[in-house]
């Protein structure tokens, strides 16, 4: 349930994850593994409250593309797409 406090809109974990297209379990796994910082706001029961900024950061995480140098002479780019395809990772190898 969306909450309005002092002109700020807060979303619960289910709403935030639905807005960005990942599961609640994926978000919690990312926090546990240190891949995404936990949100700063909680309600009186200790449940996470997401601001619009938190949702933008989460969307950016979903679209993250990282470049790694695994093979000399080739660049390997992998895209982490955990929430959308249930943990699958795609690897693209591009010639230099």
Note the pLDDT tens digit of each residue in 7-59: 899 999 999 999 999 999 999 999 999 988 999 999 899 999 999 999 999 99
pLDDT surpassing 80 at residue 67: no
CB 62 within 8 A of CB 21: yes
pLDDT of residue 94: 61
CB 13 within 8 A of CB 48: yes
The residue-averaged pLDDT of 72-95 equals: 51
pLDDT of residue 90: 56
Is 58 in the same domain as 68?
A: no
Give the residues across from 94 on adjacent strands: 75
pLDDT of residue 83: 44
pLDDT of residue 61: 86
Is 54 in the same domain as 71?
A: no
Q: Is the pTM of this model over 0.75?
A: no
Is 73 in the same domain as 31?
A: no
* Structure-derived torsion over alpha carbons of residues 61, 40, 27, 55, reported in degrees to the nearest 10: -50
CA pair distance 12, 3, nearest whole angstrom: 8
CA pair distance 3, 31, nearest whole angstrom: 23
Number of domains comprising the chain: 2
Residue 29 belongs to a domain with what CATH number? 1.10.1660.10
Question: Which H helix or E strand runs over 14?
Answer: helix 13-20
- Expressed in angstroms, the distance from the first to the final Cα of the chain is 50
């Amino acid at each position: 349930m969306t909450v309005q406090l002092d002109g700020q809109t807060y979303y619960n974990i289910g709403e935030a994850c639905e807005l960005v297209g990942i599961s609640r379990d994926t978000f919690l796994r990312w926090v546990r593994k240190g891949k995404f910082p936990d949100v700063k706001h909680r309600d009186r029961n200790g449940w996470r409250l997401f601001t619009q900024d938190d949702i933008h950061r989460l969307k950016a995480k979903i679209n993250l593309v990282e470049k790694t140098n695994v093979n000399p002479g080739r660049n390997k780019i992998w895209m982490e797409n955990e929430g959308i395809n249930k943990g699958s990772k795609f690897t693209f190898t591009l010639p230099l």
